[in-house]
Amino acid sequence: MQRSDDTLPAMCFSRLRRTEFSLVCAALVLLVSRPAPAQQAGGYVAKLQHNLEGNIIPFWLSRCVDERHGGYLIDFDEHGKPSGKTDKMIVTQARMLWFFSRLAREGYQPEKTLNAADTGFRFLRDKMLDKKNGGFFWDVDVTGDRHLLPNKHLYGQSFGLYALSEYAIATKKPEALELATAVFQTLELKAHDRQYGGYLESFSEDWTLLRTGNSYMGPVEYKLMNTHLHLLESVTAYYRASRSPLALQRLVELIQIESNAVVRKGLSGCTDKYRRNWEPDISDGYARISYGHDLENIWLLVDACKAANLSPYPLLDLFRATFANAQKYGFDRQNGGFFESGPFLQEADKTDKVWWVEAEACVSALYMYRLTHDPMYWNVFAKTYDFIDQYQTDWTNGDWWETVRDGKGIGAKAHIWKAAYHNGRAMLECLAILRELPDSVKSSEQ
């Protein structure tokens, strides 16, 4: 006798053991009883606000401003104590100038954070800027008088432009915008690749293109997805500050590069190394996916489109696929958070939880939730931030652990590659979305 469709659910459940049936019921109850994202947003606002104002800001504001020499001291051990290394690299000097400028613009202890930003601006202007050749030195001593690593790399130049642009927006000082414009024009003249698009990256002190050997970011012959990712954010900020028509052209060009040239078709993931004509190099261990960079790329593209007055929705299919690839191979479904990296179409083999990866994952997940209102993205955000709150944040000594390995936080709190940029920015970006979320959801449902 043929059974009616009405009996199918009962038949399926009858084949489950009692314990399995109980687990299914418990999961269904949890799913039904879990508050909607809009209802959870307020709780996460409080958590992230506490992390930012009670942990990240006081850690950096209390110890990194170099009142004697200018700029910032950015070397602290796992306990937040000075490590004795005092050289100053353009990447993290600029990142801290960006951070304090953004805090001042958003009203976080504006007098103190603006003073901290002023200190960083003067150091970049007076000590790190190459007044003869243009652009910034890579690394100087604590005073800024000795140029320890004087060559130019676009990765560092990009952060200099990013910081000056944010400082100009925050302070509205003409001098800041003029200096940002001078840096942008130097990059246009010395590094923009008119034939193939994007930027050449590795140069000597006088901007002679380096053709052999290694730069500060690896082999000199490559264009890097990583560098162009940060050029995307810096030109976005510079265009917002200047409204330069040329900056808009370069911004659209960088959107094209970061949404197409660096994406490996069929993988829905990005690789890092490219020949000048954007031919990818996936030899010698380069056939890997960095989940943090892929996730960061999503939200920086959305933000760039907003600045350029372009809709991000034509790129939504790419965003979904890129996020899905990172989630499939790099997301820790049990504990939350994303692993560091992995080979193509395989589970992650570098399974540390690195502070900047977790930070960018939170921002990307919320950007995707705002675009789609798919609760899956909200759940990834919530589970990742819960991991950060429990394991990545050092609530005793301040800031975030550089790495979480086997559930334990390890590593220095600050060095020439680790400042308040990733985690501080993530808290600011996420808080902005969380605060608008209930109204955003309501308006989308009308």
> Among the residues of 347-401, which ranges form H helices?
355-372, 375-387
Residue type, 245: P
pLDDT of residue 437: 83
pLDDT along the chain (446 residues), means of 10: 42 43 43 67 96 98 98 97 95 98 98 98 98 98 98 98 98 98 98 98 98 96 98 99 98 98 96 98 95 98 98 98 98 98 97 98 98 97 98 98 97 97 98 82 44
Q: Which domains does the chain have, with CATH numbers?
A: 37-441 (1.50.10.10)
Q: Interior CA angle at 223 toward 218 and 227, to 5°?
A: 80
CB 56 within 8 A of CB 399: yes
Q: What is the pTM (predicted TM-score) of this model?
A: 0.91
Long-range contacts of 386-389 (CB under 8 A, 24+ apart): 386/336, 387/332, 387/335, 387/336, 387/337, 387/353, 387/358, 388/51, 388/337, 388/358, 388/359, 388/362, 389/47, 389/51
Residues 6+ positions from 117 with CB-CB distance below 8 Å: 97, 100, 101, 104, 167, 170, 171
CB 85 within 8 A of CB 73: no
pLDDT of residue 8: 37
Residues paired with residue 354 on neighbouring β-strands, in sequence order: 403
pLDDT of residue 38: 75
pLDDT of residue 34: 54
pLDDT of residue 24: 44
Collapse the DSSP code of 222 into the 3-class scheme (helix H, G, I; strand E, B; otherwise coil) and give the result. Answer: coil
- If we measure between CA atoms, which residue out of 3, 21, 22, 4 comes closest to residue 13? 21
pLDDT of residue 36: 76
